[in-house]
Structure 1
Amino acid sequence: MEIGFVTALLGGMLALLSPCSALLLPAFFASTVGTRLQLLAHGGVFYLGLVLTLVPFGLGLGALGSVLISERGLVIAITAAVLVALGLMQVFGIGFDLARIVPGMDRMQRGASTRTGFLRTLLLGAVGGVAGFCAGPILGAILTLALAQGSPWGAGAMLAVYGAGMVGPLVVIAALWQRMGDRARRMLRGRSFTILGRQFHTTSVITGTMIVAVGVLFWTTNGLVAMPALIPTDVQSWIQERGALLADPRVDVIAIVVVTGIVLTVWALRHRRRSEPAHERDADASRPVPSTSKR
């Protein structure tokens, strides 16, 4: 089910750039958060809000999927059909807002508009995970995949990955927002185009096509079971062997020494740069002032 987690990650990234709300959150973070450290802190709080809303959905759907595990063939058929339908809806710009059916979302949306600081960021994350007309089919597709997981923890992890797909680009774009030109922002927003008199959007078409492709794969690979692993088996074995080596206490000591040396080196270089201007000022002050004589 690795492809499912990859789909969840990409789905979160594309949900952030959906036509209805493209770059609204990065613009907000760039305008309200000062330093990069503050931006990272707000990004972590935003992700916490996403997790608090999304992961319970995943756990519930995973539990339901585990009950239906005996009807695997039916679950696969329904999941594939729903994914294809949601993908086509996304392509044609037909959306829905799941926040309208979630209890308490209206109150949290009002709170996000009136609060300030980290509380506002937390509420934005809680609401942003499920709100959005354009992103509705994307979240619906990820929830459908979560149901097909057949495991509460696997489904919860998939929704957490979906949230990470949203918050990662959010922090990066917000950090670079002031350096971006109009052209770069237009590229991130995508563009609209018309075919046979109907208007489409590039982001929606790309996202919808991806969802349809996953639906077809889900059907043709028996619920992605027959799908080749993204990481080959020999590579996974090599990683496990190296992971066992890292458990050696001697490796831990060496790692601590190396990290400590790097930290001390960086601190010394920064301290040296800060102290250089003071030495230069002292040197200038100690120089004799040339005397001037009047004739």
Structure 2
Amino acid sequence: MSWTLGILAVVAGALTVLSPCILPILPPLLSASISGGDRRRPLWIVAGLAISFTLFGVIFAFFGSFLGLSNNTLRHAALLILFFLGLSLLWPSPWERIGTKISALTRQIPGMNRSSIEKTPLSSAFLGASLGLIWAPCAGPVLGIILTLAAAQASFGPTLILMSAYSLGAAAPMLLIGYGGRRISDRITSLRRWGALTHKALGALTIATVVALFFQFDTLLLAKLPGSLFVANQIEKRLVEAKPPFDAGNRSGAENAPGAGKKSPYPVLGKMPEFTQITTWLNSSPLTKESLRGKVVLVEFWTYSCINCIRALPAVIRWDAKYRDQGLVIVGVHTPEFQFEKEIENIKRAIARHGIKYPVAVDNDYGTWKAFRNQFWPAKYLIDAEGRLRLTHFGEGDEDIFEGAIQSVLMEAKLLHAPVTIEKAEKTVNVFRIRSPETYTGYNRAGNFFSKEKMVPDTTINYTSPPSLRLNQWALGGTWKVIGEAAILQAPGGKIQFRFQAPKLNLVMKGTEEGIPAKILIDGAPLPANMRGVDVGADGKAIINDARLYNLVTLPKEDEGEHLFEMIFERPSVELYAFTFG
């Protein structure tokens, strides 16, 4: 193993602390560091974290497939430990009594004269180990890349050294965080004066963190944040570019193909759930996890009016064409967000529009969504040939990294015998230019509504648009009825306005079979040709018929300003659901 790889692992570990993975473990790390009396407690906590991270990373990579270990199982065990830590801070008296009894028993055992309830180095290291279990799954992709680098050495030793180097790099800044919290606690006298109250507050914070982690709110938050905001995401991509995917030797033939039959570095995350309560199957007869055994499976949750799903589709369609004959089966699980997305004919039109040829499972009752415990559109789940979950990805982007994982799992199953070129991921949207959020028009989720009249649910109202709108405010004009998930026009001439700042403006709408014409204005003037979206004709009008997402405005690259969008409908019955931006 070269020193370069070791240094790279240390740097990657240090910069992982700058990733969103660090967010969930900060409250318990700081609370434990502050609550203990021993000034060396942060050192023991971080040592336990680093050791557990190293050992479990190696175990997952090399033995996970044989032992059937699951990241989820260890994550839940760690959360249980943190939960009891929070309880001990919030409600100390029962734990003190338990500690007294345990202490009386352990005094009879040589070397066990202090209980784990006390702030001993051993108990601190044990706490750090539980934090390491939570952190390890989150850092899985970087971990997998480093283990792949070590695998080229064909020896356990270099792998352990690389993992230790990675953990050392991560431990150093965490130790600074722990002692930083310690120094703040030492210097703020109010924390000493209100010690009991401080401990209760820290306990409540720890329990709140456990609840958030258990219900995967951390994943939800991270999925909403653009990956380009985090330095570690960029480091992960640099590692992928730096890693030689296979031995560069001059070997040939299926049996000697580089990487063929070797274990994929992606850890086992659990077993594939069954397709549950599927309304109907499109492009395929019904599939089950048993019928797919022996194939590598990519399950993608999507819904056809979702802009993020639409932007992610080209890569998925490309993978289907590229790896279908190599043993990859892609299953698009269509789980609807809006009621009109439950209609089979609408889904069929979307499949034809995008050229989707792989099986699509219509999940109208959310049965499969719940079986996978999914929360996002789009979401990808990569399943190996033995029916085990190996990788998840939520949201857009990182297509090149995910395609590398597909190849890795295919070669592990000996379905792909030689690597093929991975296309570099193209940047489809600049998140830093988008200053307008997804905005719903139905009263269930509506926000920033600024017509002169208050929005009245399920009632026909004559709304008046205001003389001006601020950024991200919207308004209705004319006679509308607002229901739970949409605003429905009741008379001709109604309009909707939105002040936005983004390269593209889209609107999810449903029209009529004959089509509803609508004129589009930008800043009070007809929409110019260089700003027209793909669904706007040469006359500056859009025809709304199918229930889908309509791209109405596409600004020139140099235009980064605010604009007032206005759409005036010639006939009633149009249904407006949500603005999205890209």
| Structure whose alpha-carbon radius of gyration is higher | 2
Relative to its length, the structure with more helix (as a share) is 1
TM-score, scaled to structure 1:
0.45
Tell me which of the two structures has the higher relative contact order, counting C-alpha pairs closer than 8 angstroms and 6 or more residues apart: 1
Relative to its length, the structure with more strand (as a share) is 2
